[in-house]
Amino acid sequence: MTEDAVDPEDPRPSGHFGRFRSNTWHYVTDDLARSISLGPATDAEPGDDWVLTYTPERRDRDDREKVLIRLTPRALQELYIETKDLSQNARQAGHSAECDLCGEQVPLEDAIPNKREEPVHRRCYVDAYGGPGWMEGY
């Protein structure tokens, strides 16, 4: 999904997450992602809570309000447990895909569509269908 396809006022993907339909959804653009921070809420003493902050996008740029989420040490541990063993592909879901020809991951920014409109490495495309030699280097 591209940023252009997201309505900042209604960021829940259409047809998805119906169970959470009545919840407030936020959207953080690629540019606003740098607004995400995680750190101690106080003086970083052992046992202190941590705070996750971010600034969601709104249609009116002046309407953006920073969101602060307080995480107890146990909540922070749970967040860590949920994310520590994720593969790079799982952490970056949507940024890469399985090459339709070789099965390895291909970054979507480097992929080209094959004859079935599936993402493939350029080298795999050249091997399968032929093409200019300069494409093999990708």
Q: Grade residue 92 by pLDDT with cuts at 50, 70 and 90.
A: low
Answer whether residue 101 shows pLDDT above 90.
Answer: yes
pLDDT greater at residue 27 or residue 100 = 100
Q: Grade residue 102 by pLDDT with cuts at 50, 70 and 90.
A: very high
Per-residue pLDDT averaged across 44-64, rounded?
A: 75
Per-residue pLDDT averaged across 38-44, rounded?
A: 74
As a whole number of angstroms, the distance between CA 97 and CA 105 comes to: 5
Name the average pLDDT for the chain.
76
Q: Grade residue 1 by pLDDT with cuts at 50, 70 and 90.
A: very low
Q: Grade residue 38 by pLDDT with cuts at 50, 70 and 90.
A: confident
Q: According to the CATH classification, is domain 95-137 in 3.40.630?
A: no
95-108 CB burial, b ≥16 within 10 A, e <16: ebbebbbeeebbee
Q: Grade residue 44 by pLDDT with cuts at 50, 70 and 90.
A: low
Confidence at residue 89, expressed as pLDDT on a 0 to 100 scale? 56
Answer whether residue 3 shows pLDDT above 60.
Answer: no
Tell me if the pTM is above 0.75: no
Domain boundaries, the chain: 3-85, 95-137
Question: Left if phi > 0, otherwise alpha if psi is -120 to 50, otherwise beta: which for 81?
Answer: alpha
pLDDT greater at residue 77 or residue 5 = 77
